Chains A and B, each alone.
Chain A
């Protein structure tokens, strides 16, 4: 099957999933015993029937649930995610404001996790049962076992509060104004604008949250890489390569690693979801103005348009990520192409 057909098929498959996501988000929002009116209507308004009436009409709360859902979907098709009840801004605008912060954090974490995780995994497989292997395995175990929020506090107390080595919460020092908006990534934007002061500050602020957020993924990637490498290293063709007198480095890099890529790619795709899980907690502690904190605040104040909008966008990114992983898989593995 040609690659474009494969992608097209996968995209078509994604549509019902996305639709289902809107439905699940909608059902959760509506199956709530709590009354969004109470949580969101301004003071002195709740006793005023006209204002209550307007509120219900504005948010479609006066319609039966299926109608509300259809209204929501048709708005969605026109790119309208509704208004956040809490911030009183369009949800789309809110997401545009908060999403880049999360992506910036997630990207730097996944890069960190990849470099460290794959490196440690390969090293630990090659030097199996060597002390290095034990150290790498132990550290990866810490990564998958330590609660993210706990690590965040420990890092914050030690490296920010006690030692002062790293900047603290937030994306930038409060004193600095954000760079001009091009992409929403402070590092890229400040570099584009030539504000190197701001650039280094933004990089500094990324260090602690990225380390914390990367911890779990690093652990998982190390473990998967190690066992994938071990599997491959015990295969016949690697033994053959070795016996042919190829240098060990060449054996590991060209033969073994290239075959261990598949499981690694899969786990990276999966890591994305855990990364977002961690992002909610990390962002809360590091006062990171990202999507995680946004969703958290939306759910504590029962701001349904915001919850639904952000779940949808996040799920969309997730589906796209999976799609990319599958395509990558497809390109890397000739067996699937044949099938």
Chain B
């Protein structure tokens, strides 16, 4: 009996040792984040985090330098030429690129990916709007023809929605790039469970709002990344992220608040990277009176812009946050100068309300998602807005909702008064002109060509077509000055970002296009 027991004990010990050593051999990076991913299908997903994940699993024709958006660099495309009229872009592809399954990436895959994005009717599909046709004369050449000059097209091509997927794999799993793809494409579930790209990582699993697991792509055509496995763990609260980072449960915490910096860095195990981001938090006012009620009135909208205490909101966002004068992030070409920010003026707000016929105020719901955006609890900002508007007689009832459910309401234009944020899809001021009538965000407040001024429509059309940088910046500024007076939005803050890392993590870079570049990280 004793012998058996000791034999068992020995076996157990051995097994323990084996399992411990197995666990140690693998290099794992754990990335704590407040997840808001709606889809990992590159043609459908449309959140910053989707960019972070897909940047590791997919690649694009062109890309940006590690930490800025100053010049467009080659990636899957070796080189490109632009026609005189700015309508035809010809890309020469690398010939040594392979997909996760080892099959070569050729021009027809690029055509499939771009057309699928255009026709699938996903949230980012509008990015492909200006593309008239994509053709592949041979395996290494892609020709993109635009329907109108689009000065931002290269910036768009560097964004995650233009990821190149394998036509063979996606088609085999229900995907299509036909014009009726919006109804017939059925590859989303597949692309949410694995990736079909050329990047250094492969998506192993994604459990929405829980974990996203990436494993190293053994067939990667380029240089292998350091980590074998990357786990994105959804940790919604900043406090839990900070605690997990402090004890070493996670290696990166993506949503640290400015308040936490001091206690986190006290013992040297953690470093905090402070980065500016172009993410703009804003109030929206639905232009459809049946949904927005009083806030569909332009005077009320303007009154609310004057009623907000921007300094309090900045105190909440902390760190590197700033107040943007309008919808274009500070730092972008075409942003208004800082002295043009809207300054709180309660008297002005009251008189505007009186003019609009609401001298005694009104009652309205403020809809927003329960979410921590880059370390800022949206609910806290909502409470500041509530208190500010109470001062001018507007009674705000806070109506928080679950993130993904609320996201759908917002995107479908169902919110009357809402609190949301917007990150540019590509690093160009044009991306934030989506706030204009009949554009993505404009549509979300039912601001259309029918109910908006001809003046702003004209500015919009010119800005989207203008290829001269200086002239475009001028138009972008014109649009913002209009928005300061009339628009159905109140930009609240451009939120800074604190990213916490364990001190032994190296290779940190941050690009607003994809956030932290996990490929470059090492221990």
User: A residues touching B (Cβ–Cβ < 8 Å)?
Assistant: 38-44, 46-47, 86-88, 156, 160-161, 164, 167-169, 173-176, 194-198, 287, 289, 297, 300-302
| Chain B residues with CB below 8 A from A297, complex form | 402
Assuming A195-B19, A196-B15, A196-B19, is B231 touching A174 (CB within 8 A)?
A: yes
- How many residues from B make CB contacts under 8 Å with A? 34
13 contacts across the A-B interface (CB closer than 8 A): A39-B405, A43-B123, A44-B412, A46-B414, A156-B243, A160-B247, A175-B249, A176-B23, A196-B12, A196-B19, A197-B16, A198-B19, A287-B240
A175 x B28 contact (CB < 8 A): yes
B243 x A168 contact (CB < 8 A): yes
A161 x B23 contact (CB < 8 A): no
| Chain A residues with CB below 8 A from B23, complex form | 175-176, 197
Query: Does residue B352 face the partner (Cβ distance < 8 Å to A)?
Result: no
A291 CB to nearest chain B CB (Å)? 15
A175 x B231 contact (CB < 8 A): yes
15 more CB-based (< 8 A) A-B contacts, given A196-B12, A197-B23: A38-B409, A40-B405, A43-B123, A44-B121, A88-B189, A168-B243, A169-B244, A173-B249, A175-B249, A194-B15, A196-B15, A196-B19, A289-B210, A297-B402, A301-B405
Label chain B's interface by main secondary structure. Answer: helix
Query: Does residue B359 face the partner (Cβ distance < 8 Å to A)?
Result: no
Within 8 A of A (CB), among B31-48: none
A168 x B247 contact (CB < 8 A): yes
| Chain B residues with CB below 8 A from A47, complex form | 412
B409 CB to nearest chain A CB (Å)? 6
10 pairs of A and B residues whose beta carbons are closest in the complex: A194-B15, A43-B411, A196-B16, A161-B243, A300-B402, A39-B405, A174-B30, A174-B233, A197-B19, A301-B405
A294 CB to nearest chain B CB (Å)? 11
| Chain B residues with CB below 8 A from A161, complex form | 243, 246-247
Query: Does residue B235 face the partner (Cβ distance < 8 Å to A)?
Result: yes
Within 8 A of A (CB), among B390-406: 401-402, 404-405
| Chain B residues with CB below 8 A from A198, complex form | 19
Query: Does residue B266 face the partner (Cβ distance < 8 Å to A)?
Result: no
B361 CB to nearest chain A CB (Å)? 26
- Assembly CA distance A196 to B23 (angstroms): 11
B414 x A44 contact (CB < 8 A): no
User: B residues touching A (Cβ–Cβ < 8 Å)?
Assistant: 12, 15-16, 19-20, 23, 28, 30, 121, 123, 189, 208, 210-211, 231, 233, 235, 240, 243-244, 246-247, 249-250, 401-402, 404-405, 407-409, 411-412, 414
Most chain B CB inside 10 Å of its own CB: which residue of A87, A168, A176: A168
B247 x A87 contact (CB < 8 A): no
A200 CB to nearest chain B CB (Å)? 9
Taking a contact as CB atoms closer than 8 A, the residue among B19, B246, B407 that contacts A43 in the complex is B407
- Assembly CA distance A42 to B121 (angstroms): 12
- Assembly CA distance A174 to B401 (angstroms): 28
- Assembly CA distance A88 to B121 (angstroms): 20
| Chain A residues with CB below 8 A from B235, complex form | 169, 287
- Assembly CA distance A286 to B239 (angstroms): 13
B401 CB to nearest chain A CB (Å)? 8
| Chain B residues with CB below 8 A from A86, complex form | 404
- Assembly CA distance A168 to B247 (angstroms): 9
B286 CB to nearest chain A CB (Å)? 15
B411 x A194 contact (CB < 8 A): no
| Chain B residues with CB below 8 A from A40, complex form | 405, 408
| Chain A residues with CB below 8 A from B246, complex form | 161
Taking a contact as CB atoms closer than 8 A, the residue among A46, A169, A197, A300 that contacts B412 in the complex is A46
Most chain A CB inside 10 Å of its own CB: which residue of B189, B233, B402: B402
Most chain B CB inside 10 Å of its own CB: which residue of A38, A43, A46: A43
Assuming A43-B411, A44-B411, A301-B402, is B247 touching A174 (CB within 8 A)?
A: no
A41 x B247 contact (CB < 8 A): no
Determine the residue in chain B with the shortest Cβ distance to A200: B16
- Assembly CA distance A257 to B286 (angstroms): 69
- Assembly CA distance A281 to B440 (angstroms): 39
| Chain A residues with CB below 8 A from B404, complex form | 86, 301
Determine the residue in chain A with the shortest Cβ distance to B232: A174
Assuming A174-B249, A175-B28, is B408 touching A194 (CB within 8 A)?
A: no
Taking a contact as CB atoms closer than 8 A, the residue among A38, A41, A169, A173 that contacts B240 in the complex is A169
- Assembly CA distance A167 to B247 (angstroms): 9
A59 CB to nearest chain B CB (Å)? 16
- Assembly CA distance A300 to B370 (angstroms): 11
B408 x A43 contact (CB < 8 A): yes
Determine the residue in chain A with the shortest Cβ distance to B240: A169
Taking a contact as CB atoms closer than 8 A, the residue among B12, B208, B211, B243 that contacts A174 in the complex is B211
- Assembly CA distance A156 to B240 (angstroms): 10
- Assembly CA distance A301 to B414 (angstroms): 16
A168 x B249 contact (CB < 8 A): yes
- Assembly CA distance A289 to B210 (angstroms): 9
Assuming A160-B247, A161-B243, A198-B19, is B412 touching A43 (CB within 8 A)?
A: yes
B365 CB to nearest chain A CB (Å)? 13
- Assembly CA distance A334 to B137 (angstroms): 90
Assuming A41-B408, A169-B240, is B20 touching A197 (CB within 8 A)?
A: yes
- Assembly CA distance A174 to B402 (angstroms): 24
- Assembly CA distance A87 to B231 (angstroms): 21
- Assembly CA distance A173 to B30 (angstroms): 10
| Chain A residues with CB below 8 A from B411, complex form | 43-44
A97 CB to nearest chain B CB (Å)? 9
B455 CB to nearest chain A CB (Å)? 28
A194 x B19 contact (CB < 8 A): yes
- Assembly CA distance A161 to B242 (angstroms): 9
| Chain A residues with CB below 8 A from B250, complex form | 174
| Chain B residues with CB below 8 A from A42, complex form | 408
| Chain B residues with CB below 8 A from A44, complex form | 121, 123, 411-412
Determine the residue in chain B with the shortest Cβ distance to A88: B189
- Assembly CA distance A106 to B409 (angstroms): 37
| Chain B residues with CB below 8 A from A164, complex form | 247
- Assembly CA distance A81 to B16 (angstroms): 41
Most chain B CB inside 10 Å of its own CB: which residue of A174, A194, A195: A174
- Assembly CA distance A164 to B249 (angstroms): 11
Determine the residue in chain B with the shortest Cβ distance to A39: B405
B507 CB to nearest chain A CB (Å)? 19
| Chain A residues with CB below 8 A from B233, complex form | 174
Most chain A CB inside 10 Å of its own CB: which residue of B208, B233, B243, B414: B243
Determine the residue in chain A with the shortest Cβ distance to B408: A43
Determine the residue in chain B with the shortest Cβ distance to A190: B19
- Assembly CA distance A156 to B28 (angstroms): 25
B12 x A194 contact (CB < 8 A): yes
| Chain B residues with CB below 8 A from A289, complex form | 210
Determine the residue in chain A with the shortest Cβ distance to B411: A43
A175 x B247 contact (CB < 8 A): no
| Chain A residues with CB below 8 A from B249, complex form | 167-168, 173-175
B16 x A160 contact (CB < 8 A): no
Determine the residue in chain A with the shortest Cβ distance to B413: A47
| Chain B residues with CB below 8 A from A301, complex form | 402, 404-405
- Assembly CA distance A175 to B231 (angstroms): 8
A175 x B402 contact (CB < 8 A): no
- Assembly CA distance A194 to B14 (angstroms): 10
- Assembly CA distance A184 to B279 (angstroms): 41
B335 CB to nearest chain A CB (Å)? 29
Determine the residue in chain B with the shortest Cβ distance to A302: B405
A175 x B30 contact (CB < 8 A): yes
